[in-house]
Structure 1
């Protein structure tokens, strides 16, 4: 009996240890399909070939709200400089209230893709991306591979891969 319990404990415990994250640098980003703020459908795969910052946020998250002006500056800077618009931000809102989300979009003049299913923490996309705190973000390259995650503030601004990745994405678009 003791051996049976030991084996059962080992199997359960070892299963826990070997559960690996799907959201790691070097892995493919999971597909996202959701409704945009304007009511149209969106799929992450439609952005293939672009460098994408996926930003998980909510209007009730003070730090998320504080980050929006920085993201706007970054978006305007990179999307304006890059040939054929090869940089995109996808905002994934974990809000429950459509009106408060829209007020924030209008207030910060957010002009990048905004998606949500208004399911708060129960959003399947939040679970798929293993979001357990906000703000959270993932950066993917043109092939959909995660190249960074959870960069904020100065760390995000100093992310050298933006220039490197954008040059590679532009090169791939040209050839």
Structure 2
């Protein structure tokens, strides 16, 4: 969410992981808990997030919160090609370490 300080602070790490592993098959779909389109779109631009972004602009009432059991942000789900969640809430170096493991580095 554009208003989430910890989310914004985590973005350089996520962008770095995306840049390193995207060509190997890693992709991101950002689901925002924003309720104001202008702020959401501005944050995407400011934080240089080149992946797909989705939001129903319902804030905490978004279907993603209940579907994936998200009650705090930042939150992340690492999903394999078969649609299985293989990790949750990887932040900082944990994301890069897990991706290195997956991609055999």
TM-score with structure 1 setting the length: 0.56
Matched, 1:117 2:56: yes
Q: Secondary structure at the match of 2:83?
A: coil
Identify, as 1 or 2, the structure richer in strand.
1
Structure 1 residue 155 displacement after superposition:
1.8
Q: Please say which structure displays the higher CA radius of gyration.
A: 1
Q: Secondary structure at the match of 2:40?
A: helix
**1:136, 1:150 within 8 Å by CA — same for their partners in 2?**
yes
Matched, 1:64 2:7: yes
Aligned counterpart for 2:42 among listed residues 103, 112, 121? 103
**2:17, 2:95 within 8 Å by CA — same for their partners in 1?**
no
**Cα distance in structure 2, aligned partners of 1:92 and 1:115:** 5
The runs of 4+ residues in structure 1 deviating greater than 6 Å are none
Name the structure 2 match of 1:165. 102
Count of residues paired in the alignment: 104
TM-score with structure 2 setting the length: 0.91
Q: Which runs of 5+ in 1 are unaligned?
A: 1-57, 168-175
